[in-house]
């Protein structure tokens, strides 16, 4: 029997607000979900080796354009021997959150995901080859997406598959909040990740394998919905499991291929450990306004001390220290607003800068005024623009459709602001596979029909396409293949030119900053560092 909760009657379950479902999430194809391929554990990857390597190679290429800077913490080890790792992060940026972990953690991953990511026409083709395991959330079940029995069977199958992968030494990413959201702090924790890793521990114990561990992960984006934003992936101290946590009956059950739920007290104990560690790796503020205020204070204090926060990672860590040492800060979940110290001038200063598209990086020496343009960057900016102009025809033809599609899908999605960057990424990912081969063919045809003009312009022989005294087909093949690195270079040139545009726009904003507003900003900044 399906348990149906209507939008009108029940937007909450057990006092907890349910996530708003997208149109895609409401379309459950249970037969297709049950037919999703299971992962294998006798290879270095749980899915297809070829398609996994191609997928992640392409993801790295797209990410290098998507983000202006990307860094990973190295304070603690990301992997503990051959033991499996359950990575748990906060979830505010859709597909970009697990991707940031996948690309920066040394392990290969078994993947669980929202059910519709396995059944979508294009994305689903790829996720099934990566052996992604579909999961039905409580929100889909309560809204009548499937029956209780179907959800129990599917989720049980996926849970067992993920647990087996972790037990065999693979990594896994699950988000204890259960859904992507737009809060500046973590929301209520679910127990799914903890139950999964405890099941993995039972399987590992039954097979004399190392017990897995949990890894809290901080995922930091300067402005998650912006193209060319900054990313910092922070791996925290692992939470190790103890053999005493795994009851004998649970080990015996999994050894026989059965299942026993882990003890509730153990689940809550491990969840509480995670809940104590993970929020410290997030902004953990009562609002995004407060988050921006802490970053302004961090920048102002650094400049007052004669230093600068040169990277997004430095800024995140400095703002965290400001938050940690804030006077009379309460420790609650979710966090209470800051009330003491220079909170009001910090909020006002951050708001002034935010409304003008500026932030703490735009403060001048001593953190009291706005900085001037850095003329030393002018030669590099000019070179970036020249490279972009030289490759503009290739950028327009190879990237134009992708950029347009990503922008349209990101701006029109019903999944919220936290999904915007995901659609931009997917447009770039699949566009490279679907659009570039066609555009390369068009450029090759153009080279063939204008071969005489090309030869005259370049000073080449008229038969320049006949490589090594072969037919013209060899030359055309070379032209076709050469198009792909040129498209890639045009994308990098576009990204660099975009950075120049953003930096120039911010410099012009600082120059044109209203005098009255600048004077007010200076007074507020002085209050931050008397």
Secondary structure element (H or E) that encloses residue 213, with its range? strand 213-221
CB 147 within 8 A of CB 1: yes
Which pTM was predicted?
0.89
pLDDT tens sequence across 431-444: 888 899 999 999 99
CB neighbourhood size of 463 (10 A): 12
Of how many residues is the chain composed? Answer: 530
Q: Give pLDDT, residue 142.
A: 61
For 147, counting Cβ atoms within 10 Å of its Cβ (0-12 exposed, 13-18 middle, 19+ buried), the class is: middle
The Cα 291–Cα 489 span in angstroms is 36
On whether the CB atoms of residues 186 and 285 are closer than 8 A, the answer is no
Where b means 16+ CB within 10 Å and e means fewer, 15-41 reads eeebbebeebbeebbbeebeebbbbee
**What confidence score (pLDDT) does residue 484 get?**
95
User: Going by C-beta distance under 8 Å and a sequence separation of 6 or more, which residues neighbour residue 119?
Assistant: 27, 29, 32, 33, 134
Q: Which residue has the tokens 């790829």?
A: 126
For 424-459, give the DSSP string.
HHHHHHHHHHHTHHHHHHHHHHHHHHTHHHHHHHHT
* HSE-CB for 268 with a 13 A CA cutoff: 3
Closest by CA position to 311, among listed 231, 422, 205, 206: 231
Structural domains in the chain, CATH included, are: 30-281 (3.40.1130.10), 288-370 (no CATH), 377-511 (no CATH)
Question: For position 2, what pLDDT does the model report?
Answer: 36
Q: Output DSSP code: residue 363.
A: B
pLDDT score recorded for residue 5: 35
Residue 122: the pLDDT is: 82
Locate 184 and state its tokens.
Answer: 């500046």
Q: What pLDDT is stored for residue 146 in this prediction?
A: 73
Q: Which residues contact 49 (CB under 8 A, 6 or more apart)?
A: 43
102: tokens are 């996948």
Q: Report the pLDDT value the prediction gives residue 482, as an integer from 0 to 100.
A: 93
Contact 172, 112 (CB under 8 A): yes
Cβ burial of 258 (10 Å; 0-12, 13-18, 19+) is: exposed
Give the pLDDT score at 473: 79
Are 165 and 39 a contacting pair, CB within 8 Å?
yes
Q: How many CB atoms lie within 10 A of CB 333?
A: 14
Between the alpha carbon of residue 506 and those of residues 62, 288, 304, 306, 367, the distances in Å are 26, 21, 22, 23, 17
Q: Are the CB atoms for 216 and 302 separated by under 8 Å?
A: no
- 3-state secondary structure at position 324: helix
CA torsion sign for 115, 116, 122, 123 is negative
Q: 43 to each of 197, 263, 340, how far by Cα in Å?
A: 21, 32, 56
Instruction: Check residue 408 and give its pLDDT.
Output: 82
- The 10 Å Cβ neighbour count of residue 49 is 12
* pLDDT at residue 10 in the model: 40
Task: Give me the average pLDDT of each 10-residue run along the chain (530 residues).
Answer: 37 51 64 87 92 94 94 79 92 93 94 86 88 80 70 83 94 92 92 92 93 96 94 95 91 79 92 94 96 96 92 97 91 88 94 96 88 88 95 93 82 73 88 92 90 80 70 82 95 96 95 94 88
| CA–CA–CA angle 88, 91, 94 (5° rounding) | 120
DSSP alpha helices (H): ranges in 23-122? Answer: 23-26, 30-34, 49-66, 96-102
Tokens of 253: 């059950």
């Amino acid at each position: 029997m399906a348990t149906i909760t209507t939008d009108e009657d029940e937007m909450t379950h057990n006092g907890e607000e349910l996530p708003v479902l997208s149109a895609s999430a409401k379309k459950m194809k249970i037969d297709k979900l049950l037919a999703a391929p299971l992962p294998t554990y006798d290879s270095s990857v749980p899915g297809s080796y070829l398609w996994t390597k191609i997928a992640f190679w392409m993801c790295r290429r797209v990410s290098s354009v998507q983000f202006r800077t990307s860094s990973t913490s190295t304070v603690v080890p990301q992997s503990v021997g051959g033991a499996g790792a359950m990575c748990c992060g906060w979830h505010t940026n859709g597909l970009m959150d697990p991707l940031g972990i996948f690309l920066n953690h040394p392990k290969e991953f078994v993947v669980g995901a929202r059910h519709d990511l396995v059944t979508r026409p294009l994305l689903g083709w790829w996720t099934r080859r990566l052996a992604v395991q579909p999961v039905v959330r409580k929100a889909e079940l309560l809204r009548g997406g499937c029956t209780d029995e179907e959800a129990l069977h599917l989720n049980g199958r996926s849970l067992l598959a993920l647990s087996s992968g972790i037990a065999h030494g693979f990594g896994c990413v699950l988000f204890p909040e259960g859904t992507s959201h737009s809060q500046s702090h973590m929301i209520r924790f679910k127990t799914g990740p903890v139950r999964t890793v405890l099941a993995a521990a039972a399987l590992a114990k039954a097979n004399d394998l190392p017990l897995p561990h949990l890894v809290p992960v901080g995922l930091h984006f300067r402005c998650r919905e912006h193209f060319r934003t900054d990313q910092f992936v922070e791996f925290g101290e692992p939470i190790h499991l103890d053999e005493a946590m795994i009851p004998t009956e649970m080990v015996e059950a999994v050894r026989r291929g059965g299942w026993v739920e882990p003890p509730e007290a153990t689940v809550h104990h491990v969840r509480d450990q995670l809940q104590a560690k993970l929020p410290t790796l997030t902004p953990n503020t009562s609002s995004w306004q407060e988050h921006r205020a802490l970053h302004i204070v961090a920048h102002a204090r650094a400049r007052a001390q004669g230093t600068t926060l040169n990277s997004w990672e430095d800024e995140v860590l400095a703002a965290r220290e400001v938050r940690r040492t804030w006077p009379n800060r309460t420790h609650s979940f979710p966090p209470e607003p800051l009330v003491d110290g220079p909170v009001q001038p910090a909020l006002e200063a951050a708001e002034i800068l935010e409304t003008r598209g500026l932030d703490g990086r735009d403060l001048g020496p001593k953190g009291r005024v706005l900085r001037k343009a850095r003329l030393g960057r002018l030669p590099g900016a000019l070179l970036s623009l020249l490279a972009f102009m030289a490759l503009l025809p290739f950028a327009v033809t190879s990237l134009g459709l992708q950029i347009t599609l990503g922008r349209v899908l990101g701006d029109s999605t019903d999944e919220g602001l936290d999904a915007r960057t995901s659609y931009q990424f997917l447009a770039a990912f699949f566009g490279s596979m679907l659009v570039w081969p066609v555009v390369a063919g068009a450029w090759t045809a153009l080279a063939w029909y204008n071969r005489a003009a090309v030869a005259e312009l370049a000073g080449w022989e008229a038969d320049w396409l006949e490589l090594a005294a072969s037919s013209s087909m060899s030359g055309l093949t070379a032209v076709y293949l050469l198009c792909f690195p040129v498209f890639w270079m045009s994308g990098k040139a576009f990204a660099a030119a975009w950075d120049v545009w953003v930096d120039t726009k911010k410099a012009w904003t600082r120059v044109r900053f209203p005098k009255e507003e600048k004077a007010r900003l200076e007074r507020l900044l002085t209050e931050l560092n008397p």
